[in-house]
Amino acid sequence: MKNIKIVTLFIFSVFSLLNCQNKKMEEKFNWSGGICAPAEYQMQCYYGRIIADDFESSYSDIVGTVQGGWGNCSEAMGTSNGKYDVPHTLEFTWYSVVEDKFYAGHWDLDKEKMTKLFKEGYTSTKFDSDLNKVVPVKETYDFIDVGLAPKGRLVVWMRGDANAVEVGCFQGQEIKITKEEAYENFKYVFEPNYRTDILKSQEDHGYTDPLVYARIQEKGYPDFKIYDDYRERFNWRLKLVMATDNKLEVRRLEMCNGEKEVIFHNEDPVLSYKKRAIPYYFDFDWGTGNNEVYHSQVAFTENQNYIRLANKKYNGPFLPWDFYETELYKLFKEKLDREAPIDIVVDVSSNKDAKIYVEQNGEKYNITQVKSYVKQRK
């Protein structure tokens, strides 16, 4: 019996040692938490945590009213200083201002998928002073973003530089929080005029972007389920048509589900097919045989001012507020074969303008509901 106890203790010690070694060998990464919400549906964080074994990224009402646009996340509580384990758990409680409801949940994150993405990273660029040119470099993700949608929907992305990929989608449960139950720094939310004031336009001393407010007054709020509908993926590729002496430098793709891709130093103008959500924005840079450099932006929207707003007011592309009404979105959702590959073709061979159409199964669909331009970089 004594020998059995000794063997059992030895086996337990070996397993404990191996477990400790595995934890020590687990690769660590520098990451922080981010947050976003649709421009039309303001949200407020009540409490939240992204939890790893050795670190927590915390959220509270100090974040303020969140309404930057779906997928356009920003830092939540400051940048982390150091490398940490990949997180395994998400806890979140938030207030949906438009609905006047609280939601909460506790979920397991897909640690295996996130670890794989951290390790694989993506290709970016940097200027090499020794070579005196821009060169490709491997980067990885810096943020784990939480997107808060109406009806208790919550999406998680990993984001770095201009790349983002969805790693989770969860459903929160509606809960009740009263003024008496709320922590002290959140009690102001229950003041009689608070919600009414928040939903006013900024021009009327409210918190809603004036352009978004005008859209809501004209069209009403988007359907609650649109943020789930945006997550549907199709097997498509981007195909650029260019003049023979042109050389592609960079492509940026932004999709309606909050995912983003930037492709550097891949001169092939035709990307591989991949399951992606429907795109709302592209931009490209290319050079010519005459050492000229051109830039093009393409946005699928009826908003005449979209590109100006993206470049001047909102510090970059944003999901168009009318995207679910656009020609491209309806084409994907209502006409195209979900099982067959799709080509989105952008012809910039003239170096003067962009012509956009979609091809599938020998059929060609011209896209006219689009805002685009081509210009030479100085």
Whose structure tokens read 């050492």? 291
The 3-state DSSP class for residue 104 equals strand
> Are 51 and 159 found together in one domain?
yes
Domain that holds residue 116: 32-175
Q: How far apart are CA 22 and CA 30, in angstroms?
A: 19
Per-residue pLDDT tens digits for 262-282: 988 777 899 999 999 999 999
> Are 237 and 128 found together in one domain?
no
pTM over 0.85: yes
- pLDDT band of residue 4 (cuts 50, 70, 90) is very low
Gyration radius (Cα) of the chain, Å: 24
Residue 5 lies in a domain: no
Residue 10 lies in a domain: no
Q: From residue 23, how far is each of 20, 50, 55, 144, 222 by CA, in Å?
A: 5, 19, 14, 21, 46
Structural tokens at position 219:
């069209």
Q: What is the sign of the dihedral through the CA atoms of 28, 48, 224 and 318? A: negative
> Are 48 and 170 found together in one domain?
yes
Mean pLDDT of the 221-240 span: 97
Residue 265 lies in a domain: yes
Residue 354 lies in a domain: yes
> Are 267 and 157 found together in one domain?
no
Residue 247 lies in a domain: yes
Per-residue pLDDT tens digits for 137-170: 889 999 999 999 999 999 999 999 879 999 999 9
Q: Among 175, 200, 219, identify where a domain stops.
A: 175
Q: Among 140, 158, 175, identify where a domain stops.
A: 175
Check if the beta carbon of residue 251 is closer than 8 Å to that of residue 262.
yes
Residue 101 lies in a domain: yes
Q: What domain count does the chain have?
A: 2
Q: Among 153, 175, 197, identify where a domain stops.
A: 175
Residue 204 lies in a domain: no
Return the bridge partners of 295, or none. Answer: 285, 375
